[in-house]
């Protein structure tokens, strides 16, 4: 039975449990945890290799961060209340969307909302600025992984590159979503959560991130919406195969 994690190894194990469950249901909700597991493994390696200023603190952040997703997933499965950002993400499994859209929805909820909260919780009672260098190191690790991930996705979505050609021609959130920009915004929000308290800001922040999620589901350009439909026709619809490719080491 799924439960919140207490160590980074438990995070990796729990993510695999979620992946297995969703793959068995041929559900697109397997995509985000497949990617997230890779990121977590890389963070674990970074801690072991002393790439962070404070490895123990980074593991604490990683676990708090991951549990935001794990708790939301469990609540969704049990029909209990959870943040709107994650509700939109989980319910999107019923929609015909790109693999990339499902991944970005998860990143939107997790980075734009959860990361700020986890950072504030990690540094509760301490100076948040002390976390900045390690926070930036996470950005670097993600940047290193981004090209590999894009190449993997292209194997199961051969026409996805067409969206890149539209990146400079439209303001749709789908093609302009940036992990680095999201993390920069998360750092700013972490400062606000740290100062004002999580409960004071959670509802308003969640509404904003939920709105961004809806933009990912419904691109504001009719040309992009048509392009997305065309790209999806040629995507691999076998969830198990997609997860295998995303998860390649």
Tokens encoding 89: 């993400």
Q: Smallest Cα–Cα separation from 33: which of 57, 48, 13, 58?
A: 13
Residue 227 lies in a domain: yes
Residue 3 lies in a domain: no
Residue 119 lies in a domain: yes
Residue 2 lies in a domain: no
Quote the number of domains for the chain.
Answer: 1
Residue 106 lies in a domain: yes
CA pair distance 173, 217, nearest whole angstrom: 9
CA dihedral 68, 132, 13, 178 (to 10 degrees): 70
Residue 171 lies in a domain: yes
Q: Smallest Cα–Cα separation from 240: which of 24, 66, 79, 93?
A: 24
Residue 1 lies in a domain: no
Can you give the length of the chain in residues? Answer: 249
Residue 134 lies in a domain: yes
pTM: 0.92
> What tens-digit pLDDT sequence spans the chain (249 residues)?
899 999 999 999 999 999 999 999 999 999 999 999 999 999 999 999 999 999 999 999 999 999 999 999 999 999 999 999 999 999 999 899 999 999 999 999 999 999 999 999 999 999 999 999 999 898 788 777 777 787 888 889 988 877 766 655 544 555 556 666 777 788 999 999 999 999 999 999 999 999 999 999 998 778 888 888 999 999 999 999 999 999 886
Domain extent for 64:
8-246
């Amino acid at each position: 039975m799924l439960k919140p994690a207490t160590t980074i190894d438990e995070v990796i194990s729990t993510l695999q449990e979620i992946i297995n469950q969703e793959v068995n249901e041929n559900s697109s909700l397997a995509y985000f945890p497949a990617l997230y597991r890779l990121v977590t493994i890389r963070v674990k390696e970074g801690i072991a290799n002393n790439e962070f200023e404070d490895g123990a603190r980074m593991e604490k952040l990683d676990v708090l961060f991951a549990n935001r997703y794990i708790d939301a997933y469990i609540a969704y499965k049990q029909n209990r209340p959870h943040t709107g950002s994650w509700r939109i993400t989980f319910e999107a499994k019923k929609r015909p969307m790109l693999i990339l859209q499902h991944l970005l929805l998860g990143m939107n909820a997790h980075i734009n909302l959860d990361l700020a909260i986890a950072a504030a919780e990690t540094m509760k009672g301490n100076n948040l600025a002390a976390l900045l260098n390690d926070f930036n190191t996470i950005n670097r690790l993600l940047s290193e992984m981004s090209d590999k991930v894009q190449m993997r996705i292209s194997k199961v979505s051969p026409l996805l590159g067409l969206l890149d050609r539209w990146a400079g021609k439209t303001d749709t959130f789908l093609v302009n979503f940036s992990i680095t920009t999201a993390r920069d915004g998360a750092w700013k929000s972490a400062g606000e959560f740290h100062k004002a308290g999580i409960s004071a800001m959670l509802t308003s922040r969640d509404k904003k991130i939920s709105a961004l999620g809806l933009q990912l589901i419904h691109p504001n350009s009719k040309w992009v919406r048509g392009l997305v439909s065309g790209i999806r026709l040629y995507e691999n619809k076998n969830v198990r195969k997609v997860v295998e490719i995303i998860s390649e080491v």
